[in-house]
């Protein structure tokens, strides 16, 4: 959960979002997770964050430009590794089959 400008955001993932991220980045998400022991590249973290970001209230998807701005702000405030961890945890929750 992330709070920015009095709005609470969460990440939500599904199969279509993962397919879109893989198409956009040109890499297999499972391969990236296993090859680097869960540490993803900046590009993959950013792409996953932007594709999965929704407003908690109403589960409204955040537009790409706004999601990128939020991502940049959170990277500066919380650090890239903390976002990496949040994304991995949410992927495990929403897409557990990727980790079996």
For the segment 78-93, the average pLDDT, to the nearest whole number, is 96
Q: What is the pLDDT of residues 46-78, one digit of tens each?
A: 999 999 999 999 999 999 999 999 999 999 999
Single pTM value for the model: 0.92
Q: What is the pLDDT of residues 1-43, one digit of tens each?
A: 888 889 999 999 999 999 999 999 999 999 998 888 889 999 9
Q: Which residues contact 62 (CB under 8 A, 6 or more apart)?
A: 9, 50, 53, 54, 55, 70
Nearest CA to 48 among 85, 100, 77? 85
Residue 11 Cα distances to 26, 35, 87, angstroms: 22, 23, 7
Whole-number mean pLDDT of the chain? 94
Residue 55 belongs to what domain range? Answer: 2-98
The total number of structural domains in the chain stands at 1
């Amino acid at each position: 959960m992330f709070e920015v400008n009095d709005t609470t955001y969460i990440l939500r993932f599904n199969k279509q979002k993962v397919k879109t991220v893989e198409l956009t980045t040109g890499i297999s998400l499972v391969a990236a997770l296993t090859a680097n022991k869960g540490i993803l590249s900046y590009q993959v973290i950013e792409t996953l964050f932007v594709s999965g970001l929704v407003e908690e209230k109403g589960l409204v998807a955040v537009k790409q430009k706004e999601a990128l701005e939020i991502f940049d702000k959170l990277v500066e405030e919380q650090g890239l590794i903390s976002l990496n961890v949040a994304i991995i945890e949410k992927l495990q929750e929403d897409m557990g089959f990727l980790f079996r």
